[in-house]
Amino acid sequence: MKFYTEYLWFNTEKKRQYIRITDQVEKAVQKSGIREGMVLVSAMHITASVFVNDNESGILQDIDEMLEKLAPYRPDYRHHRTGETNGDAHLKSLLMHHEVIVPVTEGKLDLGPWQEIFYGEFDGQRRKRVIIKVMGE
């Protein structure tokens, strides 16, 4: 089995932002030369996520509103006793999960018709990264 690793760096303009990364993952799969296998795409942070969903601005706003309802930005999280202010971002990351695995077939991402890969940032405006690990033959 072959492995290929690449990192994507982000420094978002906003604190919370959703970035489509399907093309970057597809390029990493091409560079790997792997034809059959899978690719792991994983946020290397506890306040960010990687998820698969529709590249449609309405649903991205709906996701953002859902997260703000379930884990609102507020000052009184226990986590803030450490001096941090990003308790909501940790919870949002848990709700959206930190990684996905996507199948690779005949050298390409084998996604469904509307599936796209996104990086979800919940505590941005600083340098953060995602690991892409392609595995297969």
Q: Which residues bind Zn ion (CB under 5 A)?
A: 84, 86
Q: Which is nearer to Zn ion, 49 or 86 (CB)?
A: 86
Closest approach of Zn ion to the CB of residue 73, in Å: 13
Q: How far is the CB of 84 from Zn ion (least distance, A)?
A: 4
Closest approach, Cβ 100 to Zn ion, in A, equals: 23
Least separation in angstroms between CB 80 and Zn ion: 8
User: Which CB atom, from 45 or from 133, has the smaller least distance to Zn ion?
Assistant: 45
Closest-by-Cβ residue to Zn ion is 84
Determine which helix (DSSP H) or strand (DSSP E) holds 97, and give its type and residue range.
Answer: none
Smallest gap from residue 86 Cβ to Zn ion (A): 4
Cα–Cα distance for residue pair 100/72, rounded to 1 Å: 24
CA dihedral in degrees (44, 20, 122, 94; nearest 10)?
Answer: -60
Helices and strands counted in the chain (H then E): 3, 8
Q: CB under 8 Å to 129, separation ≥6 — which residues?
A: 7, 8, 9, 10, 44, 45
Q: Give whichever of 35 and 80 is closer to Zn ion, judged by the CB atom.
A: 80
CB-CB neighbours of 123 under 10 Å: 22
The residue (of 83 and 112) whose beta carbon lies closer to Zn ion is 83
Which CB atom, from 41 or from 89, has the smaller least distance to Zn ion? Answer: 89
Spatial separation of the C-alpha atoms in residues 46 and 53, rounded to whole Å: 20
